[in-house]
Structures are given as structure tokens and as C-alpha cells.
Structure 1
Amino acid sequence: MESKTICNLFNKDITGYISRPGDIIIGGIIPVHFNTVYKKLNFTSKPQELQCQMVADEYYMSLQALLFTVERINADPKLLPNITLGFHIYDTCRTLQRAAQGTLLMLSGGKEIIPNYQCHTVSPFAGVIGDSTTRRSILIAQILGLYRYPQVSYFATSPILSDRNLFPSFFRTIPSDEFQMKGLAQLVSHFGWPWLGFLATDDEYGQFGLQIIKQEIVKAGACVAFAEYILTSKPDRNAPHLIEVIKMSTAKVVVVISTSTDFAIVLEEMLKQNLTGNTWIGSEGWSTSDLLSNKRFQGILTGTIGFAIHQGQMPQFSEHLSNLSPLKDPNDSVMRAYWEQTFSCRWMDQQNDAWLVNGTMKACTGNEKLESLIMGIDYRIAHTLYVAGYAIAWALQSMFDCTPGYGPFHAGSCANISSFYPWQLLHYVKNVDFVTSDETRVFFDAKGNPPAIYDIVNWRLSAKGSMEKVTVGSYDSSSPDGKPLKINVSEIIWINHTQVPVSTCSPSCPSGFRKLIVPGKPLCCYECARCPQGHISNQTDAVECDSCSWDTWPNLQQDRCLPRTVEFLTYEEPLGYSLATITSFSSLTPIIILGIFIYYRNTPIIRANNYSVSCLLLLSLFLCFLCSLGFIGYPQPAKCLLRQVAFGMVFALCISCVLAKTITVVIAFNATKPGSRLRKWTGVKVPYCVIVFCTLIQLFLCGMWLILSPPFHEFDTDTKPGVIIVNCNEGSGIAFWCMLGYLGLFASISFIVAFLARRLPDSFNEAKFITFSMLAFLSVWVSFIPAYLSARGMYTVAMEVFAILSSSWAVVVCIFLPKCYIVLFRPNLNSREHLLGKGTKY
């Protein structure tokens, strides 16, 4: 190895290198070519240099933006007066290898790569502007960070570059993806898209971006239909697989985090497979790309909406581009290549002579004009590079303006503008704060990030039929009103030209339904379930249903609450007025019978059946019929308090009278036997004592009921859906059933005693009729219990009224109608002889 290479890093011939001398040198590492030809490496011969092909318009504009920025700074008398900026610009061809070569070359002095040696013998090296992608910027930042050289990237957006421990000298004039992805998530939420697909490049830009936006959209309630990587290591970028995934998915909105060159290959595959109908949400990496504005992609990309770098002003930049000509700088190989590519011509040389002679290619003259081509070019990326150049210039200006004794360094010293250390300039870059020509304030936060401002652009067809990107909103993370996203939806033209596209995993749930999560599926894939009883939903896709208030109930559609129907046994209801009518007529029957008994009180059959007790029994039956009316009508609190007690007391009086009559019959017939001791019990004292004793027990039970747990008025909203049942709560169920049980006990005793006395030798044995009456009485109330427990609403009350009427009629019919029949229609049987068994049998 030759001696000159002993201390050098072995390198190949340097190509793609543009340089201009100056008092201070600024480095530029940017891609100019976007396609690289890779040769197969077998390491049996010296590896060839990478071959760069195709100059993209936007890349070339970035190069010209940096050249223009340096010219503008040098021409400004107020900025760095008497100091000329020079530059070293290196074309990376979008490769890591050339990015590392360019960085090391600039640090070494621009001629040879000598690690850890600085050969800037005349002009100090200020720092580097670049690169455009995260992966290459990380590599450059790791190298420059070792020596604390400032690096200002104009297009690297990965959040990892904000880590000051890893990248202490990195800055950028484009916001971090952390802001962009949060903004994209807000954009998606703004349009209500819950079901989204994602495509992202498999580099730092795509991986970190995908990770952040997925977190943000999940936090906002949306779901990921698919998330696939565009494999940059494959020539086809894995496009066939990606297209298959998109076709199989129901997601019609796809967020793409990629560069324009990588996404272009995927779009080509879409054209082959005729994939259309999707809405694309673009990251700033391609949302303003001229490469993708090709007419071939219009059917796919029309309606695209995306985040774009904020559009800034670059005065006279258009004039600069218009004045470009290879004739002014014949040695500029990049411009010559761009000229050939743009105007489809070839420069006169031996290699192209054959083509020119055969007429297959026209010759380049250098007089072609770029004016018609640059009119539609977007200067957004160029502007971030423009701001990056000014950031370093203003940092140098601050260093230049430093007053000794008031400087930021030791003992108030200042750095020498002619020979400063990189870390000294780094201090001024951190604190740079200036206003651009379009009144935009530029500064860096503690992580080296600028203020996060984006434009929201919409891709549509212009009147000329070409694709244009129209700004329809903005995103400003530092918005004073706290609302960073501002968008004019009415200005957006979608793929269907009118309505906002729909992208859902499941159809929307209409009003009256709620979303029911399906186990094992994302939250956005749900089923629609009818709202539970008593609940409504008055909006689509309701997560939960709202319950109606206690006095309202959902309509059939379950989308609004209506006043509940109030139900009680009212007199206006057919059932109510029927029972009231029957009760009224029934109550007359005991009174009529009582009148008959009073009129025929001196007849044998009336006198023989304990006239006074019978009259008391008829009065109690009259009250039994009347107490039914207490159960009909609106249940007022006073009515609730007294109706069951009144029922219990009058029926206790009624049954005690029946029991007294039964005991009287038994005593009367047994007292006729010779030597019977029951003669002294044949007076009226025994039945009256029985009646008073039995009634007092019931009075005690009812009194304790009213004192300890009285019945009360209530609204029952649980028994019948949509109905408020106004009823009387018994207060204590035990007390209620004890009252009924007491009546049943004495009715059973009366039945047993009467049953045992049914064969007493008498032509008119009242014990038989008492037996039948108590049997009917008990049958009614035993049947009442299951019917009462199973009935609902007003039918519960109706069942009790029916039981009262039926049991009362059982006593009237079985005990009193036979007597009335004899008194009125068979007077010949109403004699003492007949009662003693000496007359004719009936």
C-alpha cells in the first residue's frame, strides 16, 4: 500500500460532490438521485462504486434551495456582513454508505477521508444540513455528535432523534413525527373513521411513526384493521402481498407512512391489479410529492388527504430556478444530468453521437427554460432546507455579535468567528430565535425540535386535468385556543366527490341499539344489540344505552322515553265498573234478607235460628260486600291504610257470627237430652262472647299491623314494563297473611263443628247449611292464594275483590236463602211441629 494511504481511510473516487469556497463552510448532505444500481458482490475483484440514477424534481429543488439560501445569506448586508459562506454538498443517492462517506469527507476537510483529523486549514467548518431521512440522519448524527458539530436536518422526523443523550448536536426544521402522528390520529378521529389500515416503511421513519399513531388512534377509540410494512430491502417493496391484504380488508381508509419513492412502487402494483376505491391518508413524506402526481396515479390517489410541511415563502426562489442553465456552469454534472432527464435530450459528446446522428434523441442546447416546469412544483421541502440554512447563519451572527466580557463562555468570553470550536457554535444553534421573511418565528426547543405546524392538503384534479394539492386546513400544536386541528371539510373533494368515505368493520348501530363487543375481535368489530328493557339510545353507534326516568318508558323504537301508562283498578275500566256494580247490588241482598228477618222475626224458623246473631251476621255480610269498594278507584294513602284492615275486621265479625251460630246449634240440640249440663249455656251470652272474643283477636292483629308496619301508597314500576301500577303496599306481608290465616282458622273450626253436627235429628238442621257455606268460603280463599300471587297490576286487586264477593255470596246463599225460601214460599213449613220433626219433610 502506498504511503499516502497509510493514515487515510481507504475510499473510492469521490463523486456527487459540489463545493464552493468561503470564510465559513457549511456542509450539506442531501439526496439528489433517488435510484441506485447495485452490483452483485462476490469479492473476487474490487467492488465498483455505487451507480446513481434518476434525479427527482423535489430532490433537485432541495439542492437548489440550499444553493439559493447560501446566495441569499451572502447577499444580505445585515446578516454576517463581510463574511462569505461556502459549502460542501454531497449527494447520498439515498444510501447509508454515501451518507457516511460524505460526513467523514466534510469532517476531514473535503479532499480525503481521514478519521479524527480536521484538515480545514483556511475556513472553519460550521456544521451539516441534512439528511432527508431518519435512517441516514441517525448515522450522520452519531458521527457528528462525537465532535459536537451542529446538524440541522430538514426532513428527518423520527422521535428517536429527540433523545439528547444519543444525539446531543442534532436539530431539525421539520417537526418530530410524534407531533405529526398525533395530528394524523386527530384527523382520523375528526372524520369518524374507526376502522383503519396502515402501511409503513420498515425503517425508523415508518416503524416509529406506526407505533405512535397506532397508540394514538387506539386511545381515541379507533381500531387497526391491518398494519403492514413496505419492505425497502425488496425491489418490489413486498407490494403484491400488501395489495392482497388491502383487497381482503374491509377498511377503506389507509394511512401510509412512507417516502414517495417507496410508495410509488406500491402504487405501480395497485395499477397492475386495478385496486381503486380506497381513501389514502398521507404522511408528510409523500403527501406533496411531485413524483406521485403522475397522471397514471390519478384514479388511485384522487381524494387523498394528508399532512404536509407548512408552506413558507421563499422570495425570488422561482426566479433563481428560472435562471438555471448548464451553460453558466458546464462543470455541474448534476445539472447536466437533470437537464437531460427533464427535457429528454442528450449533450453532445462521443457517447451520445450515435443517438443524435440516428435521430433517436434530440441534442440539449442549454437554452431550454424551466419556467413551465417549475410552476407546479411544491417548495415545502425546499423551505425547510431554506430555514435550516438560515438557522446556522443566525447562530453564526449571534456568535459574531458577541461582546467580550458578556459572552456565554468562561469568564464572559466570546468565540472567534474565524476559528471557533464546534461546541461553541452548538451553543448558539440551541438558542437561535429569528423570524423568516414570511413572519414565521423559528426556534428550537430543548430537544432540538421546531414549532409543530403542518398544512393539511387534499389531492384533487385541477381544471387542466392534472393532480393538484390544495391546502384545506392546518395543524398547530401551539395553537393559542388549544385546538390544534383546523380543517374546512366543505373544501375537501373525496374519491366519491361528495360524501366523507366510510370505513367500518361493522355497520353502524341505529337508534335503539347499542354496540355489543364480540370476544376475540377488535373493539370496532361489534354486533348491534337491542337496548335492554327500560333503556334507549338516540344516536347511532351508541356504546351504552341510557335508562329512562322512573315515570317514563321507551317507545317501540327505543329511541326516546314516553310517559308511562298509569294503571289501577279504576271505575272507568270495564272490569272496575263491573265489579263496582256487582258489589252495589250484592250489598243490597243482606239488607233485603235482614228486612225479611225483621218482618218475620216471630215465626218459628226465624226464632229457632238465633234471630239476633243472624241479624248481626247479615249486617257483617252487608259490610263485607261494601268493603270491596275500598279496593276500586285510585289508591289514596288513607284508603291503603284502612282497606285491608276493614276487610279483615268485617270478615272476622262475619266468621265469628257463623262460628257462634254453629256452637249455638250444637248446644241447642244437645241441651234437649235428659240431664244435660248444657242447658245453662243455651242463652245469648255464649254466642256474644264467641263473637266478641274472635273479633277482638282480629282487632289486636290488625292494630299491631297498623302500628308496626302499616300499608302505604306506592308506585310499582317493576311489575309491568312501561306501566306505573299505583297500588297499596301491604307493608308487612306476614301481617297480611296472618290476618287471612286467622280468618281461615275460624272458618275451618266452623266447618269442622258444623260437619260433626250435620246429622243431628232435626228437620231443619242449620249445621248442614253452615257446613256448605264454610266449605264454599274456604274453597274460595284457598283458590285465591295462588291466583293472588300470580296476578299482576290491577288484576291482583280484582282477584281480591272477586274473592270477597264470592265468599260473601257463599255465606248468604248457603245459610240464608233456604230460610227465605221457606218463609216466603213454603209458609206451611214454618211451624214448630215441623222444626221438631213432627211435620212433613221438605
Structure 2
Amino acid sequence: MPEVQCKRFGIEPYQSLQALTFAVDKINADPELLPNITLGFQVFDTCRSLRRAAQGTFAMLSGGEEIIPNYNCHEGAPLAGIIGDSGSTRSILMAQILGLNRYPQISYFSTSPILSERDLFPSFFRTIPSDEFQMKGLAQLVSHFGWSWVGLLASDNDYGQYGLQLVRQEIINHGACVAFTENILTTEPNRNAPRIVQVIKQSTANVVIVIASDSDFVIVVEELLKQNVTGKVWVASESWSTSGLLSAKRFQVVLMGSVGFAIHAGQIPNFTNYLSSLHPSKNPQDSHLWEYWEEVFSCKWLSPKDLVANVTYKACTGNEKLESQLSEENVRLSFNVYTAVYAIAWALHNLQQCVSGTGPFYHSDCANIFSFHPWHLFHYIKNVNFKNQDGSYMFFDEKGNPPAIYDIVNWRPRESTTLEKVVVGSYDLNVPDGKTLKVDSSRITWSNTFDQVPLSNCSPRCPLGFRKVIIPGKPLCCHECSSCPQGQISSQIDAVECHPCSWDTWPNLQQDRCLPRPTEFLSYGDPLGYSLAAISIFSSLIPLIILAVFIHQKKTPIVRANNYSLSCLLLLSLLLCFLCSLGFIGYPQPEKCLLRQVAFGMVFALCISCVLAKTITVVIAFNATKPGSRLRKWTGVKVSYCLIMFCVFIQLFVCIMWLILSPPFHELETDTKPGVIIVNCNEGSPTAFWCMLGYLGLLASISFIVAFLARRLPDSFNEAKLITFSMLAFLSVWVSFIPAYLSARGMYTVAMEVFAILSSSWAVVGCIFVPKCVIILFKPNLNTRDHIMFKGSNK
């Protein structure tokens, strides 16, 4: 099988190699770290190939030029550990081999979560956090900007697929939805780019998370440029968030405004100066340095043949300045390599400092630093804990992961030909305040399409006063907005459900906050309230005026013929009937609730009892005039008063039992009328209320029947005809009152009862007393004994 050849020179891998060299030199120069011990290293280039990774692993384990599995040809110093590989797929292969003998392996760029499984990879460590942490952070970043509809794009290798599964689940856990999922096929020359771009163009998602290497994603970006797809926000994983390959100016129209997670930019003191000091002339034998120079400055070292051939390459002069090309983003990966070297160095230091008898191995023994086994150093790497020169602490958790911290970067244009990556926040799981994600949104520059934070939602956001309603058959993020039900509010955008107001509050028109409910009762301040009150007071004057007329004219025949004493008592009861209606107007205090219906029932019972007594008196008086009648003894006033007292006593008994067993009480009612608190008097026992009212109807009915039967009495006793009309009107009012009372709501229920009280009282006044007053005041010639007797004789 032909040997795999590396075809392309990588700037970052070479800088990582220089970071390793720089770290080893610093450790060897440090008298306090590994005193009297000199570290060395051997570098093997895998060319991003699984085959080369396996070859290099076996070669390092064998120690010779030949690969001999399970045989160690190492001469001199033992192999302490292996730093690498950069790719997760290759690290998985290496870790399976190295884990058999517990050889410590520290990767600086392998992020696959599967490498955290200690059962499969017991000796694997890394100085870059697992994708498990990064994908949680990416989901939090999506949630931070309010994006609920995002696309996912991932390479089809271990890195992309594990990351894809994790970020999808985390996005769903944060309440967002995935619009599409596409794979970059690394085995295809075009990486499936035409189909991917078509899906992105047709999707309504404005945000796409990309979990892939820059070398795979660049082909998709080329296709995006070709099809002029712009206006998308690209969320980068750390594998391409600081890529120099994608920073070219021609990609600016597509990638400007991208945000993403980047490897934390730790500080390596003097490392930038070290890189700046590199020059091919200082080390002409280092062919890699010559290639590095060509890649950094996009030039070519021209040979004499090239000069003769007159090639058009940009020539490298050697006068170029490396410091102009170096920045913080160029050394992010180098810091991880630097930290990995120091982790092995500190583990070796702790192994060297072990005191016999207190060691961690069998019989409290220590390992010899000149002849230790791999599992000896593995024990110390597991427990390493040291402080980097930039002040950060380095240690490994039980799964071999370092403290998880990322920088959040934003891609923005700058004067040079490349896009600038500006740090705008951080994601740190070790912060004491628990605020793992910190983003300064004011520093973010979005693409030319968006002035502010772009939106990426399947459906429009639901405003205040609305709630989200899921559309059947579509993702949860695709919804309709429905206004809150009556009596409920939503005080936040995109509310999942509405919340009811408290009993004494009610939503405003926008249904985004609760306002105090207005109270409703028949108030003196309302037009209806003061109108009824004015009518009641005016009406109460009429019985007084009539009573004054009757007192003044008490000796006239028409007054004497109509039972003067009973008429006065009836007029006084009518006065109370008109006035009792005032008890139903105004705020219903508990005392008013307790007495107003009882007062109404008692005064009306007195009124109708007087009418009934007058009716019966008329009948008895007519029949007592016949010769030999025994009714003469029943024509006295005492009989009438006894009848009135008996009738009133029955009503009094009903009212007392009502007040004892289930008295009326003050009530705040919120269910009858939406948005209003109706302040009313609950009658306590509806049965007692209707019994009281029914008793009044019974008395009125008896009066009506008796008066109707006596309507043909002589004119001198013609009051029976007037009582018939009065009781007919009285009963009509209260029969009409029942359905109106039951159908009315709020203060109109009370108004209906007040109206019935006034109407029925006016019926009695109008039918019984007005005709008499007309004769007394305006037709005195008819108010004579002769006229009354004459009309009676005619009958």
C-alpha cells in the first residue's frame, strides 16, 4: 500500500509545534520545575489520516524504526506521554491503542464527547473542553438572542455527528426548534454543497449552526457565494470560529456578522515574540519554516530556475514582518498545546518529588523517574493541578476534561483584506455567580441585512395579551397567536399560557395587565339611583298630603263613610312603603342588608292588611244593615285592628324565622357581570324571601277577591270597587316583577324591586284615595249626605 503523503502545509499545526518547542525550552530552563531533568520530544505528522495516526502511535510505542506491536525498543529515557491528535476521529483510534497500557494521551483539539467515556478510553485527557459543554453553550447562545427556528449543518465525521446530536437535544430543551438538519459529506468532492445551499435558501430559518472544520465548510461557503445566498447568521463551533481560511475578504458578504464559540485565548508569555523572531535565514535547514513563511505571506521563495522562467508568483523577500500577521486568534490552539506540555511536566515533577514510604503505589512505593511505567505517570496526570502563568488553573475532572471555558467571537470587517474576530463574551462553567454565558450584544456587528439582533422564528412572536397555540402537524415553534380568554392576561411576549387575574381585578382592553375591578351598586350618584330616590321622596309626600286632607275633612260624609281611622292607618303605611324603597339605594352595608327586605315585608304587610280590613269592614257593614242581622257586633273598629294585627303578626313570624335561620348578608359578586364587582345583599334564604313576598300576594289576592264580590254594593259603600282596582293593579305589578327580577343582573335587580315598590304603592294611592280627594277638593257639592244617600237609593 502506498505511503500517505501530506499535500498541504498548515499554519496552525506548525504554530502548535512551535508552542510545544517553546514550552519544552521554558520547562528545561526552569530550575524549580523538574530540576536536573531535561525533557525531549519527537514529532510525527499524521496528515489528518487514520492510517498515519495508527502508524505514528505504534512507532512511538515500539521505540524503533520498525513497528513491532507489544514490543518496546526504547533506549534511554522512557516515553512519558503523547500529545495529540488534533482530530477526534484520529484521537479515538489512538486512545483505543494507548489505553491498553494506560499510556497518557493529552489531546489539544479533540472535542468528541465519546472520548470522555473512561471505560473505553481510560488514559485519554485533553486541554480543550468536550463538545458536550460547547453544544450546551451554543444552545444557550441561541436562546440568549431569542432564536427559536434554527438550521443545523454538520460534517459526517465523529466530531460533526456527536455534536449534531448534542446541540439538537439542547436546542429542544431550551424550547427552540430545528428547521433542518444537513450533513457535509466529507467523502464527496463537492461536500454535498449544492443540495445544502438549496435547503438553506428554501428554509425560513435565518440562523444556521455549523459544526464542521473550516476545510469542509469552505466548500459550502463557495457554493453560497456562487448562488448569492446572503442574509443568514452563521453560528460557528470552535473548529472554524477563528479560521484564517474562511476570513478571506471574498467571503465577507456571506460570513460577516457570524458569531460562535472559540477556544479560550489563554496567555503564553513571550510566545508572540518567539514566533516573531522566527526567520528562515536563522535556520536554513528547517524546511517547514520556509513553507510556513510562504503560507503566512502568500508568497513563494523563488529559485534561479523560477527567475529564468519569469514566473508570476509573488516573491518572498525575507523582509516580511511576522509580528504584523500574528494576533490573539492565531495562538488559541497553541495555548492548548502549551498547557498539555506543562500538564505532563507537572505530573513528572510530582512523580519525581515522591518520598519513598508515602507513595501512591504498592507498599506506599514511588516510581523512578528514569524507569517508570506508563501507568505510573497516568496516576499523576489524573491528579495534576497547577496554575498557568496567565493566572488560570489547570486540572482534569474524572472524565479527563479541563475546566470548560470558551470565548464568544463575532466576525466583522476591517480595513485589511480579512474578517476580524472580536471577542464579545464568554462561556465559563466555573464562574462563582452561576452566570455561565455573558455576551455584550452592543459590541456585535451583524451582517448588512440586519441593523439589530436578527429574528429567526417559525411564526411571528405573540404580543402581550396573546398566547401561543400549537398548529397540529407542525413543530412546537410553529404556532398561531390567540388572544387570552376572558378574565385572563399574558404579560410577556410569546406566552405559552394566560393567567387569570385575582378575584378583585380584571384585565385591561389589551389583556396584558390586571386592573382593579369597578364596583357596581344602585348608587345615589347614578342617574337611575338618584331618579328613583327623588321619586320615592316625592311619592312619600302624597300620602301625607292626603292624610292632611282627610284630617281636615274628617267630618265630611265621604270621609266618615270610608272608615276614617283605617284610612289614616293605611295612608301612614303607604308613607312607609314609599320610604322603605330608599333602603335599597346606596352602598349595601351589612346592617342595611339585614333589615331592608324585612322592613319592606312588614310595611307592605301592614298596608295590605289595612286594605283587607277595609274591604271586610265594607262587606260586614252592608250586611249588618239588614233587619235581624247578627253582624252588627262585628262592625266596630276593634275587629278591623285585630284583623290587621293578626295578618301583620304572621308576616312578623316569617321575618323573624328568616333572620334567625338564614339572614341576608353583604356580598361581593364577581361571576354575574365580567370585569365588575357587584356589591349586593344576598337574601340568605331564597325560600324565606319568596315566602315573604308570597304572603303579601296572598293578602292582596284575598282583598281582591272579597272586593270583587262586593263591587255591586250601593254607592255609599262603593269603596269595594276602588279596592278591586287597586288590588288588581297591585297584583299585576308584583306578578310582572317576578320574571323581571329573576332576569335582571347587578344593580338592575335592585332597581326592579324599587320600581315595583313604588308602582304598587302608587296603585293603592291612585285607586283608593285619589277619587275621594277629587270629590273633597274639586267637587264639594258631591260631598253631602243627601247625594251619597240618593246614589245609594238609586242602586
> Please, what TM-score do these two structures have when normalized by structure 1?
0.86
Q: Identify the match of residue 147 of structure 1 among 96, 101, 104.
A: 101
Match runs of 1:681-760 below 5 Å: 681-760=634-713
Q: Secondary structure at the match of 1:125?
A: coil
Asked if 1:244 corresponds to 2:198, the answer is: yes
Q: Identify the match of residue 432 of structure 1 among 361, 384, 394.
A: 384
CA contact (8 A) 1:356 1:363 kept: no
CA contact (8 A) 2:248 2:417 kept: no
Match of 2:737 in 1: 784
Name the amino acid aligned to 2:446.
W
Q: Identify the match of residue 344 of structure 2 among 389, 392, 399.
A: 392
Match of 1:65 in 2: 19
Q: CA deviation digits over 1:337-370, x for unaligned, max 9?
A: 5566565537769xxx6x7754336598895757
Distance (Å, rounded) in 1 between the aligned partners of 2:790 and 2:293: 145
CA contact (8 A) 1:652 1:698 kept: yes
Match of 1:178 in 2: 132
Match of 1:260 in 2: 214
Change in CA separation of 1:534 and 1:327 when aligned onto 2, cut-off 3 Å: same
Name the amino acid aligned to 2:378.
L
Q: CA deviation digits over 1:508-531, x for unaligned, max 9?
A: 333444444445544443433334
Q: Identify the match of residue 724 of structure 2 among 771, 779, 797.
A: 771
Distance (Å, rounded) in 1 between the aligned partners of 2:589 and 2:365: 96
Q: What displacement does 1:832 show? A: 5.2
Give the RMSD, CA atoms, in angstroms. 3.1
Match of 1:208 in 2: 162
Q: What displacement does 1:803 show? A: 0.8
Name the amino acid aligned to 1:640.
C
Gaps of at least 5 residues in structure 1 are: 1-11, 13-47
Q: Secondary structure at the match of 1:54?
A: coil
Q: Identify the match of residue 459 of structure 2 among 486, 503, 506.
A: 506
Match of 1:45 in 2: none
Distance (Å, rounded) in 2 between the aligned partners of 1:802 and 1:70: 104
Q: Identify the match of residue 414 of structure 2 among 459, 462, 469.
A: 462
Change in CA separation of 1:670 and 1:233 when aligned onto 2, cut-off 3 Å: farther
Greater helix percent: which structure? Answer: 2
Change in CA separation of 1:96 and 1:797 when aligned onto 2, cut-off 3 Å: same
Asked if 1:106 corresponds to 2:55, the answer is: no
CA contact (8 A) 1:515 1:528 kept: yes
Match of 1:190 in 2: 144
Change in CA separation of 1:813 and 1:365 when aligned onto 2, cut-off 3 Å: closer
Q: Identify the match of residue 585 of structure 2 among 616, 628, 632.
A: 632
Q: What displacement does 1:180 show? A: 2.1
Change in CA separation of 1:509 and 1:77 when aligned onto 2, cut-off 3 Å: same
Q: CA deviation digits over 1:86-136, x for unaligned, max 9?
A: 434332232323222222232222422322222224442222211112222
Distance (Å, rounded) in 2 between the aligned partners of 1:590 and 1:315: 110
The range that moved more, 106-115 or 541-550, is 541-550
Q: Secondary structure at the match of 1:378?
A: helix
Q: What displacement does 1:439 show? A: 3.0
Distance (Å, rounded) in 2 between the aligned partners of 1:628 and 1:619: 15
Q: CA deviation digits over 1:622-650, x for unaligned, max 9?
A: 11111122222333332222221111111
Asked if 1:131 corresponds to 2:85, the answer is: yes
Distance (Å, rounded) in 2 between the aligned partners of 1:236 and 1:699: 101
Change in CA separation of 1:58 and 1:490 when aligned onto 2, cut-off 3 Å: same
Match of 1:40 in 2: none
Change in CA separation of 1:412 and 1:567 when aligned onto 2, cut-off 3 Å: closer
CA contact (8 A) 2:104 2:125 kept: yes
Change in CA separation of 1:725 and 1:212 when aligned onto 2, cut-off 3 Å: same
Q: What displacement does 1:81 show? A: 4.8
Q: Identify the match of residue 225 of structure 2 among 249, 263, 271.
A: 271
Change in CA separation of 1:836 and 1:98 when aligned onto 2, cut-off 3 Å: farther
The range that moved more, 429-438 or 556-565, is 556-565
Q: Identify the match of residue 322 of structure 2 among 347, 371, 391.
A: 371
Distance (Å, rounded) in 2 between the aligned partners of 1:485 and 1:669: 104
Q: What displacement does 1:659 show? A: 1.7
Q: CA deviation digits over 1:422-474, x for unaligned, max 9?
A: 11121122122233333332221222111122222222122335311122222
Q: CA deviation digits over 1:767-786, x for unaligned, max 9?
A: 32222211111111111122
Change in CA separation of 1:694 and 1:202 when aligned onto 2, cut-off 3 Å: farther
Q: What displacement does 1:655 show? A: 1.1
CA contact (8 A) 1:141 1:151 kept: yes
- Over the matched positions of the two proteins, sequence identity in percent amounts to 69
Distance (Å, rounded) in 2 between the aligned partners of 1:464 and 1:374: 11
Q: Secondary structure at the match of 1:243?
A: helix
Change in CA separation of 1:421 and 1:712 when aligned onto 2, cut-off 3 Å: same
Distance (Å, rounded) in 2 between the aligned partners of 1:249 and 1:734: 69
Give the number of equivalent residue pairs: 792
Q: Secondary structure at the match of 1:460?
A: strand
Q: Identify the match of residue 443 of structure 1 among 395, 399, 407.
A: 395
Match of 1:408 in 2: 360
Name the amino acid aligned to 2:268.
M
Distance (Å, rounded) in 2 between the aligned partners of 1:589 and 1:175: 97
Match of 1:489 in 2: 441
Change in CA separation of 1:745 and 1:92 when aligned onto 2, cut-off 3 Å: farther
Asked if 1:160 corresponds to 2:114, the answer is: yes
Distance (Å, rounded) in 2 between the aligned partners of 1:111 and 1:841: 155
Change in CA separation of 1:91 and 1:819 when aligned onto 2, cut-off 3 Å: same
Q: What displacement does 1:545 show? A: 4.8
CA contact (8 A) 1:57 1:290 kept: no
Q: What displacement does 1:150 show? A: 0.8
